Amino acid sequence: MSGSNWVSFLFAGAHGRLEDRSNSFTAIRIGFAFLVLYGHAIMLPQGLPVTGEWAVLVDNSVQFALDGFFILSGYMIAASLIHRRDMLNYAASRILRIFPGLIITALMLWLVVGPLFTSLSWADYFSDSRSLSFLAKIIFQIQPQAGLPGVFSDHPLPDMNGPLWTIRYELLAYLAAGILAVMGIFRSKWGLLALFVGAALLSDIEMMWPYEGIGSGTLFAAARFGGAFLTGAVFYAWRDRIPLAPGWALMLIAGAVAMADTPASMITGQVAMAYVTLWVGFLAIPGKTGSAIRNVEDVSYGVYILHWPIGQMALAMYPDITPHMLLLVMAPCALLAGWLLRVLVEIPALNAKRDIVAALRGRRLQAANPI
């Protein structure tokens, strides 16, 4: 390969089109979900903070995976809001994406897992205030990591479902994006760029002078995940100016590594993560392998919200289980549970969206034009 061809290969890539559906984003989300599962298989028997070089490396990878979820979400939401003006349809899509699976999961934890694993009598279990308030805490994200009385209380981490803490930030991102779209800001590439620059500055300020008062963890998480979401959105809005090629990916990774110990580490890491994720997501994988990857069923949400209680149940039954044996239990069980949730809950809920939106529009028209 000549020098000019090498330069072309490294830096002159194109940007894939979502409209072609020729991407691997679903498979990447599933990969992120299983990376989080792996981190929690190490964390559940050990507790926090994790110790050991490998455990710390895996935990750091989990943090990248969480950012990756928000980057892809921002990219896809920008695609939806920039091209479609129907906010009722947008709201219905977002609600039906999150809440049916979340509600079923909360009910299963409360009515099945809790009674089976509690150390209390069923009468004491169901009459306890923690049990009575559990559904509201989970579904409305008041306390997404809430526990149940006498359930896993002797575990290093007694939470019923630890990963649910990120759901509130996803919901806030959806809400903020919808409001900003109505205002016209989220539908403008310059508006999104301005939001991104503002988020980057806030991130730098938070890294330089971290707030340590009430709600500091919430503020940091909002800055982190909000920045990741906006990074994905900006990449979509400016996709015609951003070629996806391995050379640029390597340069952005090198830049993120160089900035790792600076206040700009969060935002540079997210930009590099976004670029690499999109580059990999739009790689043209030929043949049956590529087709299988592109058309894989999206079990990522189910795996993400169900793997933790599966791990907790396995740990309760086998208290001396090692992290990697726990991984071997959690991975196939979470895959099966995620597939069942997808087929029995998520797909039927999303398929009902058209009827729900039509019914809501009918009521709105009836209210606007009473007989």
Do residues 276 and 71 make contact, with C-beta atoms less than 8 angstroms apart?
no
Cα distance between residue 78 and residue 188, in whole Å: 10
Q: What is the pLDDT of residue 367?
A: 55
Q: What is the pLDDT of residue 40?
A: 95
Cα distance between residue 187 and residue 181, in whole Å: 6
- Asked if residue 358 belongs to a domain, the reply is no
- Asked if residue 348 belongs to a domain, the reply is no
Q: What is the pLDDT of residues 127-148, one digit of tens each?
A: 999 999 999 999 999 999 999 9
Q: Is the pLDDT of residue 336 over 90?
A: yes
Do residues 136 and 106 make contact, with C-beta atoms less than 8 angstroms apart?
no
Do residues 76 and 97 make contact, with C-beta atoms less than 8 angstroms apart?
no
At 334, the amino acid letter reads: A
At 369, the amino acid letter reads: N
Residue 54 binned pLDDT confidence (cut-offs 50, 70, 90): confident
- Asked if residue 356 belongs to a domain, the reply is no
- Asked if residue 213 belongs to a domain, the reply is yes
Residue 77 binned pLDDT confidence (cut-offs 50, 70, 90): very high
Nearest to 26 by CA among 290, 233, 267, 287: 290
Nearest to 23 by CA among 91, 79, 92: 79
- Asked if residue 198 belongs to a domain, the reply is yes
Region 331-357: what's the mean pLDDT?
94
Cα distance between residue 75 and residue 221, in whole Å: 19
**Mapping DSSP to helix (H, G, I), strand (E, B) and coil, where does residue 200 land?**
helix
Cα distance between residue 80 and residue 116, in whole Å: 43
Residue 50 binned pLDDT confidence (cut-offs 50, 70, 90): confident
Q: What is the pLDDT of residues 111-126, one digit of tens each?
A: 999 999 999 999 999 9
Q: What is the pLDDT of residues 177-222, one digit of tens each?
A: 999 999 998 989 999 999 999 988 888 887 787 777 777 778 888 9
DSSP assignment, residue 264? T
* Mean of the per-residue pLDDT values of the chain: 89
- Asked if residue 89 belongs to a domain, the reply is yes
CA atoms within 13 A on the CB side of 172: 17
Beta-carbon count within 10 A of 369 CB? 7
357 to 79, 89, 259, 303, 353: CA distances (angstroms)? 20, 6, 47, 28, 6
Cα distance between residue 242 and residue 346, in whole Å: 34
- Asked if residue 353 belongs to a domain, the reply is no
Task: Name the residue with tokens 């575990």.
Answer: 155
Vertex 72, ends 48 and 285: CA angle to 5°? 110
- Asked if residue 315 belongs to a domain, the reply is yes
Name 101's Cβ contacts closer than 8 Å, sequence gap at least 6: 301, 302, 305, 341, 345, 346, 349
Asked which of 81-95, 203-217, 283-297 is least confident by mean pLDDT, the reply is 203-217
Task: Name the residue with tokens 């979509």.
Answer: 236
Q: What is the pLDDT of residue 3?
A: 55
Do residues 349 and 92 make contact, with C-beta atoms less than 8 angstroms apart?
no
Structural domain harbouring 64: 18-341
DSSP assignment, residue 188? -
DSSP assignment, residue 52? S
> Percentage of the chain surpassing pLDDT 70?
92
Structurally, how many domains does the chain consist of? 1
Region 13-26: what's the mean pLDDT?
73
What sign for the dihedral angle of Cα 343, 344, 345, 349? positive
